[in-house]
Amino acid sequence: MRLILLGPPGAGKGTQAKILVETYNIPQLSTGDILRSAIAAQTPLGLEAKAVVDRGDLVSDAIVNGIVSERLDAADCKNGFVLDGFPRTIAQAEALDAMLADKGVALDAVIEIKADPDVLVQRVINRAKESGGARADDNEDVLRKRLVVYKEQTAPLVDYYTAKGLLKAVDGTAPVEQVTEAIKAAIGN
């Protein structure tokens, strides 16, 4: 099963990805998690990405495409994966198409988790409280910035994947279990 979870920050991509990992026995590929680990470990990648992530902007396509390309080569991705937070631009989607074509594999579905921006602002504020502020980008100002970036750079992917017949939308404001059921129904198993 090769899936993409698409949706604005706070829509529940990470939560659903973790459930899909168990359901389909596939790894979660989260570019956000990979970047946060690199930032915490102060690797060259982390040092380069930190300021961009902290202010809610997108890291360059070249950097994240490189991360994903390397990750997709790992043995655990052979039978599938759930991409969470990638692609975020049309250029990234095109790069992903090329990577998958190279491997002779195709995406099964792109799940758009839809949610109202106001609900998301509240969710992310709650997440910041619960995590004790562990994510430097979980505050209201940065979130609003990330929502604008989503609208401008990532939302066009809805049309991109609709045109390919891959897009399935689910309501991300429903309870977690219902969102999972809707995703499974959309995938068809």
Binding interface with ligand AMP (CB under 6 A)? 9, 31-32, 35, 52-53, 56-59, 64, 85-86, 88, 92, 137, 146
Contact partners, residue 27, CB within 8 Å, separation at least 6: 21, 74, 76, 77, 81, 82
- Pick from 116, 113, 137: which is nearest to 125 by CA? 137
Choose between 51 and 104: whose C-beta lies nearer to ligand AMP: 51
Q: How far is the CB of 188 from ligand AMP (least distance, A)?
A: 26
Point out the catalytic residue in the list 135, 144, 145, 184: 135
Of 59 and 170, CB closest to ligand AMP: 59
Residue nearest to ligand AMP (CB): 32
Which is closer to ligand AMP, CB of 73 or CB of 181?
73
Q: Please say if 13 is a catalytic residue.
A: yes
Minimum CB distance to ligand AMP, residue 189 (Å)? 26
Nearer to ligand AMP, 57 or 97 (CB): 57
Handedness of CA 183, 82, 39, 48 (dihedral sign): negative
Q: Are 107 and 166 contacting, i.e. CB atoms less than 8 angstroms apart?
A: yes
Active-site residue among 18, 127, 144, 184?
127
- The residues assigned a catalytic role are 13, 88, 127, 135, 146
